[in-house]
Structure 1
Amino acid sequence: MPSRKRKSSKFKKVAIEWLKWTSAIVPILAFIYILYYYKQLDFLKKNEEVKSVTTVLDAKDSAKLAEVIQKNKINDNIKIVENEWHLVGGIAIHNMLVENKSTQSAKSFEAEFKYLSDTQEALTTKVITIKRDLPAGKSTKITDLSVGFVNNGAVGCDTKVITAKF
């Protein structure tokens, strides 16, 4: 009878060791299989080099030149003729007269407001989009336009139309 106890205790020791190793390896293998199944092992592959071709354009083909021409057309066609403004609790309120000399009506335009100090130094510059229809060949009065918080030291304001959408 003593031999039976030895055989069963040896079997238990071997079975426990085998179970420990199996319980440690199986989850790792399952994790690797899940990564493979969902194609998450891409980091092991070598990345292909990206090849690009650079072509030098002449100054005539430059997008900046077209942008400068477009700005000049906008400045000739849409102008802020009158600009009256005052501060209400640090917020600048503007009443403007905008003239559209173009043959198309503008849907919206961006205007730059440069607030100046006593020495005509720029304190703050704000650019806002004004979504207001500007009929072709007419002047439009825009009243009570709030630009935002402005330094109380501002005494003057220069306005300029930057872009317009027709």
Structure 2
Amino acid sequence: VRSHIGYIFQAHNLLEFLTARENVQMAIELHRGISRREARTRSEAMLQLVKLGDRVNHYPQNLSGGQKQRVAIARALVNNPKLVLADEPTAALDSKTGRDVVDLMQRLALEQECAILMVTHDNRILDVADRILRMEDGYLITPQSPANDEMEKAKVERQIEN
């Protein structure tokens, strides 16, 4: 089961003593039967997809917040999971970088045919969702007044289900 799930954490959780490539490659090497050469090739290819091909040998301290989050996305998607769990992937990013990261996640998920379950407080990115569930005080809820709902302000024109 673990091999079919990718994780993107609120904090990128990159290992500071590993390069961007090594952080992604580590996720591949956890699976048996893949050579180091193949793991290296796949990790570099994934970093190219997230537009970090010129940063493969950079350490996290030499990457911006958006670049670190893109390394985390590459790490989550490099094994072609069927499901990606994303916990506040835009929390530490400015609005433009956050939007770029979510658009990238959406594009890669479509290309790899995987589902993303994202938890967020960022209403500006809700329009990429196929389905939106709201939680309040530990319960799934349906807004009582969609006209006043924050998601309406974000111009989300999707059905809210509970």
TM-score, L = length of structure 1: 0.21
Which one has the bigger strand percentage?
A: 1
Greater radius of gyration (CA):
1
Which one has the bigger helix percentage?
A: 2
TM-score, L = length of structure 2: 0.22
